[in-house]
Structure 1
């Protein structure tokens, strides 16, 4: 199945390359025009000699109160003559006539710390919008001269102190292996590992990928991937929302701020950007991953109201629909994301946003036993999934130092998986029929108040109504005689979450962040109170030390609580009484700003997991959960774990055309299940290292830009349990020796990624060719164990998985 899909990607890439490139056809046109230009050479030379410029605009606001700052100055450093602008009554600025290429902006406002924004890219295809938040200075006027510093990695969330960093959309597109996907982008960060290149699931500091929480516009959403959980719970093929929709966002890996609940491993805090409110701009992209159409612009000219949307349809699905690719498999997805921004004069700003995806994957029965290589070849499946999230948000300034933000949101998934398995006589039998229709309606509001430049707070309350329709019937170990109903529950519940977090600038070089996240989950009547605290001390301008602690809680998927007990059991739903899984996070960080464009960071950490569900008197624990569509066991809170490690980051931000990011992590991830034995976790890879480097070449005054980016990754292999070969041969299935769980390790994961981009800036539009290749060296990747009918033994499947991302984009 996987091989067919990957082959289809390659065929799609070949088909895409048969399209006549715009640049080539344009070159032919220019050749013809140059012949005609012998009669009008002076006019043509005059036209071509005119420089192409662009506009940089945006807003400047107080980062705590969101109040626009009037009269702030924004200048392009080292521009000749000096270019810049001041903000108007709405905090907006506009700098026209900016030459193409990268520029560094400096923003100043009296009484506020200045900010430098490096390497802002100006292209001919679209205006550049830069929104800047400034922090009020705690130094007395005239007491000290504050020198602006580049803190590109600093998180947007002012309450985040340790194990957090921001990333930009431009990085998601530029980093080799990023594939325009935030989940793949952050796999280059310290403490983050991948399980396999064909899935975007990430392992953060030895934790299961299911411990990641995704948030969009401040709202917790279901895992936003196409075909989520196909191989790994918490992962998928590619993120639903396109990079064309994203604004700068944060990624947290430990001891995150109090506003983030229901997560043990990490948090993606994603922001959708606001569309251009003065100019209509459009993007079309054709690539092996999908066909994208994006548009933005003013709703009503002069009103500052704007729209932004992106629609994508999978290229593979389109080629399959057109019978270009001969295959019986179905593999298609599509998604839509949008945001309407509606500012008012006195009633604050409203925004209506949403994202959703529709996926389908199917494989018919193979009725020729001679074609069966392993058990999956005798199985048909039909998988349909829909995911959506939409919200109406409102932000209102209620005073000079206070604003209130409120969001009404609805999220949900419809997930259906049906598998049929043939016996040796080619008789089909029901194997799995699973339905997971879950939804959530939430109303959340928070108030942010700044008491003084030294003290600020953010306090919020969210009420959630959960609806579910869950059903599952399945076999045990694919034995058709064991097919029975496991889950059949329809109903609703609710959850309440409260948080409050504070920031105290105790001194100019000493910051304390503290808070608490608490709540109540009615389904199992679970309360939680999770304190968080972090301290940062700046030794001087270049060195800082940080210390953080956080207690974190997370519930399981709703279907885990709905598993039915056997008839002999007293409780009908024994898992319903499970407590939430918890973890204590401890982090120490040393940050060295070597220069304006280079830094090093070292973070030792320790995490202690507790109350994780597991099976009684067994090595099984949800700490190791990867994916099991047939899971139907009774659990109890009997597992603990510990993750201890060291993360190192050495980074040069993009400057003068090149950058690099080198990260390394060494860690130990252990657990103890219901049998009382300490073992390696499934995700105890032991080490992971990344080297990412890129170079950008600007030609002809920035009209043509070539980008070359590459990444090299090496990581320890996944831990696995020994194979019970005799039992596996007898049943022709894979059986593991769980009494020696995860005592073996798969080969190390070694691969390289490559990214090439070629941008042509023309008057009024830009065109970009991009080639992004994962596993560019074609290294064989372990996929897992299968019983081979040919060798009559369990074998480790390996395949050369090369994932090409080839695209052509036009911005106008």
Structure 2
């Protein structure tokens, strides 16, 4: 078999005659007002400098390079009284390349000053000064082990970790994943992941697909006043538009599913476009190949996205977008005849779990003048989580076969243990105005308004399994209102200062955060040295289902225990240094300190704190909570990155940190996410076989401190049929350190009309056993044994895909 594969590769890699070309196009606009820049100059230089092309923007700020030979290029844009900018772009035969450029106005218009306005890796939001990273789709999709998932790609940044291999929860600087905010086109998103547990922000599989994303922003601390309702980080996503000139298609078949994407013009003359994609996956192929993915159950899921783009005159734009997905899984322990360990399920029940989310929105953008830009988005979102657990009473039949004792599990009875269905409908409105007072002063003001309709129902058997307790029974409305104003002062050509104020109000709990100041500063010196600092106060509402949790009190009255919970608050501060070298090499370090307060904890003395929630597949049911908990995160981070240039990249990140908290007992403990250190090293290189063929290889090494845990209270665990830890010893132990090596191989073949790509992502190639957690696992063979088992992260997981890009039709263009 291998010799035939080598023969095929040898044949397709033979030198082919005839040069293949493609189109590179896009727009050039003012970064603040989004006003199109007419007559901007563009220079396109190939990586070996053998091809140099020039172009200019037209009356709509558009440019178009035709007949560009496929390969890697550096695109530089310039405009009088604006700072130059450069981008690395890839041109393939299967689809046109579209690069939209934003230029910053120069505040010193002299011939002697020569500053690059926006270097590779800088974020879209001009108000950001520190703890912000650009999420470049082209850069991050090369990362090994990322599975095409934006959240897993972001986990390679310094200060960012994934909670575990089975999920893509994002832990930012030791904070709970609950603190992360997902945004798209200005509005807050519900959890954009399949199998999303209530109150979480991650899941096993992302609904968002990097094929529909433009370059986006990721914030880790002290973010601008635009962003609220988050104390950890913000993932501000941008959706790309479809190609307005040519119909293009992408098909992908892979280990995790089948994807189809189509884009093209709706009306070429008006430059309107569509982009539609869908994906469906069942993982039964894993079972057929006898590869464990952490569960014997087979999850099914599907998702899709739509983006319709309608350009208006003078730079205006209307966009219609939709994103959604649904997922289901049945973990049926009752079907098992042999003793086994189930990673995601408990050993005494069948579990049925499903989720759904969706967003439908319309955005409007309009440069009112050369100095003022207006943006608004209105959207309807929906998310749902539903589950049912059936309790199993089982026994074991033993027999002697060939002198060997064997076991077979028998299910004696099944009855429902619990069930719930949480639904949230949200109408979201975002509006902002960006006004450039002059080339030194910029003001942005706006508001976010979210209106919620919640329908939460949940009941479960009591500990004795004799009657049901209704834990949630709520249907009602609430609103979250967030106005903000942000100011930027370009003190001189090398120094910026930002200041802003954010405010927010949540009606259900009548919570106010009147004034949240945000400050930022950045100094760019000669020779690529840059200093930055930032500070701000941030707040966040609690997971919505926690407000509707109810119990019968001592007087026999049914009441919602935590309806009056206040916002959790956090003060962020950070100081950074960056050194930009030649050849796209950057060294960056940051130190930070965060003080968290107003964290919900138990009324009575306890180690419990909401600061530890948000990862995994379990909800939590605390008693009445009060906002009296505290926490602190501090650390230092280092990043050495060579952005993809001349067919090679690497990224080395490291962080040393502490993440502590205090519950209502006043004892300072490690948070669940305090691993103390995390290190990533990624590298990759492309090997050009000839003008049409390319092979790339990359790897990733990750090492991190183990997860925190405590001592199990065996007696309470057996009574409650779930894991219960000793309160006084919570998080006093730590699992062994985490280690993983991933490898990614890709082969690309460009033909006259098609681009073929074959990829193999080898996750945990050494099959390292990393402990995930302890779980409740009663033994049927030895009832006297402690009902505790270690659960492990994913073992070796090979993920392959085949992708093809092609164009349906072609249109002749004029330069």
Q: TM-score, normalised by structure 2?
A: 0.90
Quick one: distance in 1 between partners of 2:595 and 2:673? Answer: 15
* 2:449 equivalent in structure 1: 463
Deviations 1:506-548 (A, max 9, x none): 1111101111111211111111121111111123241111110
* 1:405 equivalent in structure 2: 375
**Is residue 2:592 matched to residue 1:611?**
no
Q: CA deviation at 1:804?
A: 2.5
Structure 1 window deviating more from structure 2 (280-289 vs 381-390): it is 381-390
Q: CA deviation at 1:725?
A: 3.9
Quick one: distance in 2 between partners of 1:449 and 1:807? Answer: 46
Matches within 5 A, 1:402-551: 402-424=372-394, 426-475=412-461, 479-481=464-466, 483-528=468-513, 529-551=515-537
Quick one: distance in 1 between partners of 2:167 and 2:474? Answer: 31
Cα distance, 1:803–1:634 mapped onto 2, change above 3 Å: farther
**Is residue 2:93 matched to residue 1:124?**
yes
* 2:683 equivalent in structure 1: 693
**Is residue 2:236 matched to residue 1:248?**
no
8 Å CA contact retained: 2:348, 2:392: yes
Q: CA deviation at 1:742?
A: 0.4
Quick one: distance in 2 between partners of 1:583 and 1:696? Answer: 43
Deviations 1:427-481 (A, max 9, x none): 32332211110011022211111111111111112222110100111245x6523
Structure 1 window deviating more from structure 2 (577-586 vs 364-373): it is 364-373
* 1:9 equivalent in structure 2: none
* 2:346 equivalent in structure 1: 376
* 1:710 equivalent in structure 2: 699
8 Å CA contact retained: 2:164, 2:793: no
Give the structure with the larger helix fraction. Answer: 1
Matches within 5 A, 1:194-233: 194-229=162-197, 233=200
**Is residue 2:638 matched to residue 1:668?**
no
Q: Which residue of 166, 175, 180 maps to 2:134?
A: 166
8 Å CA contact retained: 2:45, 2:75: yes
Cα distance, 1:112–1:153 mapped onto 2, change above 3 Å: same
Q: Which residue of 104, 107, 110 maps to 1:141?
A: 110
Cα distance, 1:571–1:503 mapped onto 2, change above 3 Å: farther
Quick one: distance in 1 between partners of 2:51 and 2:585? Answer: 28
Cα distance, 1:744–1:298 mapped onto 2, change above 3 Å: same
8 Å CA contact retained: 1:475, 1:630: no
Cα distance, 1:512–1:368 mapped onto 2, change above 3 Å: closer
Matches within 5 A, 1:2-21: none
Cα distance, 1:373–1:355 mapped onto 2, change above 3 Å: closer
Consecutive unaligned residues in structure 1, runs of 5 or more = 1-16, 32-44
Quick one: distance in 2 between partners of 1:409 and 1:728? Answer: 45
**Is residue 2:161 matched to residue 1:187?**
no
Cα distance, 1:483–1:81 mapped onto 2, change above 3 Å: closer
Quick one: distance in 2 between partners of 1:475 and 1:781? Answer: 34
* 1:656 equivalent in structure 2: 646
Partner-residue secondary structure (3-state), 1:533:
strand
Cα distance, 1:104–1:373 mapped onto 2, change above 3 Å: closer
Matches within 5 A, 1:34-73: 48-73=16-41
Quick one: distance in 2 between partners of 1:473 and 1:309? Answer: 40
Quick one: distance in 2 between partners of 1:771 and 1:369? Answer: 35
Partner-residue secondary structure (3-state), 2:545:
helix
Quick one: distance in 2 between partners of 1:23 and 1:463? Answer: 60
Quick one: distance in 2 between partners of 1:21 and 1:765? Answer: 21
Q: Which residue of 109, 115, 119 maps to 2:85?
A: 115
Quick one: distance in 1 between partners of 2:655 and 2:264? Answer: 44
Quick one: distance in 1 between partners of 2:697 and 2:11? Answer: 23
Structure 1 window deviating more from structure 2 (594-603 vs 484-493): it is 594-603
Cα distance, 1:330–1:238 mapped onto 2, change above 3 Å: closer
8 Å CA contact retained: 2:150, 2:209: no
Number of positions where the alignment pairs a residue of Structure 1 with one of Structure 2: 774
Quick one: distance in 2 between partners of 1:549 and 1:83? Answer: 44
8 Å CA contact retained: 2:194, 2:356: no
Deviations 1:580-613 (A, max 9, x none): 0000001000111132411111100000000011
Q: Which residue of 238, 256, 262 maps to 1:295?
A: 262
8 Å CA contact retained: 1:612, 1:622: yes
Q: CA deviation at 1:575?
A: 0.7
* 2:403 equivalent in structure 1: none
Q: CA deviation at 1:497?
A: 1.2
Structure 1 window deviating more from structure 2 (461-470 vs 287-296): it is 461-470
Quick one: distance in 2 between partners of 1:726 and 1:456? Answer: 63
What is the root-mean-square deviation in Å for CA atoms of aligned residues? 2.8
Structure 1 window deviating more from structure 2 (588-597 vs 408-417): it is 588-597
Cα distance, 1:533–1:147 mapped onto 2, change above 3 Å: closer
* 2:406 equivalent in structure 1: none
8 Å CA contact retained: 1:172, 1:179: no
Quick one: distance in 2 between partners of 1:258 and 1:788? Answer: 50
Quick one: distance in 2 between partners of 1:22 and 1:372? Answer: 40
8 Å CA contact retained: 1:172, 1:243: no
Partner-residue secondary structure (3-state), 1:271:
strand
Q: CA deviation at 1:342?
A: 0.5
Matches within 5 A, 1:608-757: 608-616=595-603, 617-625=605-613, 626-627=615-616, 628-629=618-619, 631-701=621-691, 703-725=692-714, 727-728=716-717, 733-757=722-746
Q: Which residue of 332, 341, 346 maps to 2:300?
A: 332
Quick one: distance in 2 between partners of 1:556 and 1:247? Answer: 30
Deviations 1:341-364 (A, max 9, x none): 001236931100010001111123
* 1:810 equivalent in structure 2: 804
**Is residue 2:764 matched to residue 1:779?**
no
Q: CA deviation at 1:58?
A: 0.5
Q: CA deviation at 1:81?
A: 5.6
Cα distance, 1:289–1:81 mapped onto 2, change above 3 Å: closer
Partner-residue secondary structure (3-state), 2:611:
helix
Q: TM-score, normalised by structure 1?
A: 0.91
Cα distance, 1:706–1:555 mapped onto 2, change above 3 Å: same
Partner-residue secondary structure (3-state), 2:460:
strand
8 Å CA contact retained: 2:163, 2:169: yes
Deviations 1:531-586 (A, max 9, x none): 11111112324111111001111111211001113232678223111110000001
Quick one: distance in 2 between partners of 1:309 and 1:506? Answer: 44
Q: CA deviation at 1:633?
A: 2.6
8 Å CA contact retained: 1:373, 1:788: no
* 1:350 equivalent in structure 2: 318
Quick one: distance in 2 between partners of 1:684 and 1:798? Answer: 19
Q: CA deviation at 1:215?
A: 0.6
Quick one: distance in 2 between partners of 1:172 and 1:647? Answer: 19
Quick one: distance in 2 between partners of 1:113 and 1:688? Answer: 37
8 Å CA contact retained: 1:197, 1:774: no
**Is residue 2:61 matched to residue 1:76?**
no
Q: CA deviation at 1:234?
A: 2.2
* 2:398 equivalent in structure 1: none
Cα distance, 1:77–1:346 mapped onto 2, change above 3 Å: closer
Q: CA deviation at 1:96?
A: 1.1
Q: CA deviation at 1:802?
A: 2.4
Quick one: distance in 1 between partners of 2:447 and 2:426? Answer: 16
Cα distance, 1:328–1:613 mapped onto 2, change above 3 Å: closer
